[in-house]
Amino acid sequence: MIPPKPTGRPRKVSLWRFAKLFRKDILSALPDHLFKAQMAEFKTPFFRSFLVNDPALINRVLKERPLDFPKSDRIAEGLRPLLGKTSVFLTNGTEWQRQRRLIDPAFEGGRLRDTFNAMLAAGEAACVRMQPGAIDIEPETSHAAADVIFRTLFSIPITDDIAARTFQAFRAYQRTQPILNPAALFALPKWLPRFHRRGVRKQANIIRGLIAELVDQRAAAIAEGTAPDDLATKIMTTTDVVSGARFSSAEMIDQVAIFFLAGHETSASALAWALYLLATHPDAQQRVAEEGIDFLKNPLFSNLSSLKFTRDVFRETLRLYPSVPMMVRETTKDEPLRARIAKKGAQIVLSPWHLQRHQEMWDSPDDFNPDRYTTENAKQCLRDAYLPFSTGPRVCIGAGFAMIEGPMLLAMLVSRFNFAPSGPPPIPAAYLTLRSRDGIRLQIAHRLS
């Protein structure tokens, strides 16, 4: 069974039609020929953009000269009510470098081992909550991913009062937040109001207020010497080797907001799509179940390597359904791109959605095949055409974290439950992350031993 994907628009449409499609869903607003193209230029009266699939150009933008291609403000405009002004997701240049110096130590390899027990506890809680029947799996994976974030960041389960209220406010924020703000399409001056929806502003303020409570509580515990040794404590006590300063409370609120948005949203999306793919491929699901059963006999961090096929399932899920389907950079000067010149201020779109299904690079690109990663084609494509976490200096901070969390939660759930499709196939759509337009309906039953 070929996993579902939306049908692209006709190659030529009016600007008005394109804007309407783009605001509703980026994926179906783009033509299908991009799955074959090395590069495509889009021209409007307001901006020029270049969608780049050429591996050499991607390396130039992300690895060789990343400071010459800062993150574009266009996509970030809609997220500022939640993320503030100093989130590491939004900053560029020296300010971004300072923030990464303060954050990166918390996510180093040895620290990831310390988060294992919290992830395991969140997985156990997810299995307890899971009930047989036909359900939309996305709310369940959102719940599980949020629990992981609270346990690893602040050492509290999602049943904690503040954690529960933050999760509910974030669910409401998701329902009110459009994928694009008008400033994403038009280069508005900084002094002009951004016209964020009232519901977006309200829910963002609630979330940030609750995060402020958590940050203030943790700052007090650090001062008293009673703070747990978790990710929040590590980040808040790390001193910048250049400036000698730590994050202020206001800056920490911005960082926690992106940890929750990125760590929760992306993991929830990937886990939901992985369960759907396994539901439609029973043989693969059985192999994951067998690995999970063996792992849970002795669930130690050192035994995660035994989840080899499960890890490949998660890797293949991220290829077909990258949680962040597009990334946007901006040129700081006129830039030659193949046979064209991108003027200063042009938008460079790097699209894992297109790159990871590229018909000239991947064998059978639309098929779900976790076993492909033993082939030479896939090994080459992992180097040239695989960007679920970006790459280079701005690679996702939580990439290693996600590749522990995702396969482990997947193995734990599938070892105890059988998943089967229920209702029509889900249609992918780009919201905050790659979700299904109408949810992902699965039939769940206890797995027979």
Block means of pLDDT (10 residues each) for the chain, 449 residues, are 84 71 76 94 80 96 95 72 82 92 87 91 96 95 94 94 88 61 47 51 88 95 96 95 94 90 87 98 98 97 96 98 92 94 92 97 98 97 96 92 96 98 92 85 91
Give the CA count within 13 Å in the CB-facing half-sphere of 359. Answer: 6
- Give residue limits of the domains in the chain: 15-446
- Would you say 260 and 170 are in contact if contact means Cβ atoms under 8 Å apart? yes
Q: How much is the pLDDT for 15? A: 67
Please report where in the chains the tokens 């400036």 appear, as a residue.
243
How far apart are alpha carbons 353 and 433 in whole angstroms? 12
Plot region of 364 (φ>0 → left; ψ -120 to 50 → alpha; else → beta): left
* Four-way CATH pick for 15-446: 3.50.50.60, 3.10.290.10, 1.10.630.10, 3.40.50.9100: 1.10.630.10
- Would you say 38 and 443 are in contact if contact means Cβ atoms under 8 Å apart? no
How far apart are alpha carbons 374 and 365 in whole angstroms? 15
Q: How much is the pLDDT for 280? A: 98
How far apart are alpha carbons 54 and 365 in whole angstroms? 16
73 token code pair: 């403000």
